[in-house]
Amino acid sequence: MASLWIVNEDRSIRAEIVPAHGGMVAQIELEGKELLHIDRGQLETAPMAAGGMPILFPFPSKTKDDAYQFKGKQYHMPMHGLVKNDVFAVGETGENRARLWLENSPSWKAQYYPFDFRLEVEYRLEKNSLTVLFGIENRGDEAMPHYLGWHPFFKSTDKKRIRLWQDMRVHYDYVRQVDEPGIVLDDLSRRWDDVFHTPEKGGFILENEADGYRVSCEADREFEALVVCSWVEESMCVEPWCGLPDSINTGRFVRWIDPGKKKEYRVCLTFENLK
C-alpha cells in the first residue's frame, strides 16, 4: 500500500493518506500517538470496515433497495457511494498538504451515477489541525445531485471513557424515516448507529480519556447531519454528512450542482493530547 505522509510545522502531527484506497486519510499521529482505527488487512477486501477516514460520495449510507431513479432510469448505488474503493490521482503536494482528485468513468455513468464530475480533496496540516477541503465540479450538461459524507473511525479502546458533545436538534429514525426529538448520547459503550440533523452551530467535540486525546470538529453549515456509530470494535465513528440515509429517494437534504459549476465544502479537526 503506497502512502503519502504530510506533517505540520513543528512535526507534532502527521497524517497518512492512501490515494489507492479512496484517497482517504488512513492514520493520524499526534506526538506519535495513533488516533484512528485502521485494519490494514481489510483495505483490499472490505475498505469500509478497515477504518481510517473514508470519503462518502455521491451518497452516504444505503439507498432503498440499493437503487435510485433519475429521469425514469434506475441506477444501482453501493453502500456509502462509489469513491471509497477507487484510486485517486495525486496532484499538488507539499510537506504539510496534499491534493487528490477523481473523475467519473463511462462504466460508472452507465450503471451507477450518470453525471460527469471531478471530485477534489485537499488535506492540510496547520498547527494542531487537519483541514479537509472538498471540491465537486459538475462537468456535464444537467444539474447533478449529491450529498457528501465523511466517515472518521476514531480509535477507541474503552468506550465507557469517551464523551461526545454535539448540537444536532433532531434524531432521525432512518428505518421508519421519521424525525424525533433529539436524544442524549450519554453512554457511548452502548450500541449506537444513529443519525441526527439540524444543528445549532454544527461540529462536535469527542473527548477520549482512555486513549488520551480530544478532537474538535468545525464543519460548514451544509453538513446538516451527524452520524454516531459505536458498534465497530475499537473505534468510535462520528461522521459529518450533508444528507440523510436515502436522501436521493426521499428528496430531503439533496444538494444540486448546476452544469459547469463547482461546490466546495470544508471540515476542520483540531487535536489535543490529554496525556
Pick from 114, 131, 129, 32: nearest CA to 77: 114
Grid cell locating 169: 436538534
How high is the pLDDT of residue 1?
A: 57
Q: Look at residue 184 and tell me if it is in a domain.
A: no
How high is the pLDDT of residue 42?
A: 84
Q: Look at residue 168 and tell me if it is in a domain.
A: no
Q: Look at residue 213 and tell me if it is in a domain.
A: no
Domain of 130, CATH number, reads 2.70.98.10
Chunked into runs of 10 residues, the chain (275 residues) has average pLDDT values of 93 97 97 96 78 97 96 96 94 98 93 98 98 99 98 97 96 93 88 95 96 98 97 95 97 98 98 93
> What is the SS3 string spanning the chain?
CCCEEEECCCCCEEEEEECCCCCEEEEEEECCEECECECHHHCCCCHHHHECECEEECCCCCCHHHEEEECCEEEECCCCECHHHCCCEEEEEECCEEEEEEECCHHHHHHCCCCCEEEEEEEEEECCEEEEEEEEEECCCCCEEECCEECCEEECCCHHHEEEEEEEEEEEECCCCEEEECCCCCCCCCCCEEEEEEEEEEEEEEEECCCCEEEEEEECCCCCEEEEECCCCCEEEEEEECCCCCHHHHCCCCEEECCCCEEEEEEEEEEEECC
pTM: 0.95
Q: Look at residue 200 and tell me if it is in a domain.
A: no
Instruction: Tell me the residue range of the domain where 80 lies.
Output: 4-156+232-268
Q: Look at residue 222 and tell me if it is in a domain.
A: no
Cell 503519502 found at: 4
Total domains, the chain? 1
